[in-house]
Amino acid sequence: MDVAAAPVTDVGARRVARPRRYVMTAPTFFTVEYAINPWMDPSAPVDTHRAVSQWEALRQTYLDLGHTVELVEPVAGLPDMVYAANGGMVVNGKAVVARFAHAERAGESVAYAAWMSRNGFHLADTRHANEGQGDLLLLGATILAGHGFRTDRRAHHEIAAHLGMPVVGLELVDPRFYHLDTALAVLDDTTIAYFPPAFADHSRATLSELFPDAIEVASSDAYALGLNVVSDGLDVVLPAAATGFADQLREAGFRPVGVELSELLKGGGSVKCCTLEVHP
Ligand code: ARG
């Protein structure tokens, strides 16, 4: 039989990568010197050089996949600045600047806002706490928005108004999954993966109604921060330890690309936390 004439039944055929624009900040000054989430233990040693080389490998992975990576200058004394996702929400020429829930990170807003205005985005602040793409995930033309630990529910309305986009609020209940991007991954404009126990019952109901075909991950993957991924619609860059989720992604036609970010896990973050996406 002529192989070329065989019908294409591979589920992967319907997944398409779109080139992306990412913003990252090197972990030059990364340490764990305070604890604002249960992953952080200031008494445990952190190898900053190792954090930098793991972060560098993540950046190289994006470049190899054909994406653009722009850099924000790290600031001494802001050890969590490597988690660029929290700097704000950037979409359609507009940017919402983060207002951090904890004083330790407040200074980061200034650095990210400077980058956003230098790059021509129309900036807005919120009166209530919002931690950018840690809690605000774009799915098609809708924003999925977490609340419960960091981002204040009242900020959701402010963000919807500034960006002119609908916001679906989702309540987080487990402190290990304190940001939406630790409990839910957007894989393309219509597909998500999530860890149901991280959400309040009413939000679980919302998710199963809106996304009957969502991938539900096992606790072993969720506890490796396996959902903290960056997807271009086909390639899904994820923590290497989340092997079960990688299999689920492959079955769904995505291409999992595992990376090792063990040092940055000590701050309670992984792939997505280190990546602010500039959405067109
Ligand atoms: N140590 C940081 C914090 O607790 C980690 C932030 C992780 N970022 C994220 N997008 N989930 O705020």
Q: Would you list the domain boundaries of the chain?
A: 17-279
pTM given for the model? 0.95
| CATH of span 17-279 | 3.75.10.10
- The string over 48-83, giving b where at least 16 C-beta atoms fall within 10 Å of a residue's C-beta and e elsewhere, is eeebbebbeebbebbeebebebeebebeeebbbbbb
Annotation marks residue 49 as catalytic: no
Mean confidence (pLDDT) of the chain: 95
**Percent of the chain topping pLDDT 90:** 95
Q: Is 36 in the pocket of ligand 1 (CB under 6 A)?
A: yes
Of the pLDDT bands very low, low, confident and very high (cuts 50, 70, 90), residue 14 is confident
Encode pLDDT of 206-220 as tens digits.
Answer: 999 999 999 999 999
For 90, 137, 260, the CA distances from 224, given in Å and listed in that order, are: 27, 20, 11
User: Which residues have CB under 8 Å from 46's CB, separation 6+?
Assistant: 30, 31, 32, 263, 266
Report CA 117 to chain centroid distance, whole Å.
22
Q: Whose CA is nearest to atom 9 of ligand 1?
A: 273
Ligand 1 centroid – CA 250 distance (Å): 27
E-strand ranges in 8-113 read: 21-25, 68-72, 88-91, 94-97
Q: Mean pLDDT, to the nearest integer, of 141-164?
A: 97
* Candidate list 128, 273, 274, 279, residue with the active-site label: 273
Annotation marks residue 274 as catalytic: no
Encode pLDDT of 28-45 as tens digits.
Answer: 999 999 999 999 999 999
pLDDT at 240 over 70: yes
Positive or negative torsion for Cα 150, 177, 206, 237: positive
* Candidate list 67, 147, 179, 274, residue with the active-site label: 179
pLDDT at 145 over 70: yes
Ligand 1 centroid – CA 83 distance (Å): 6
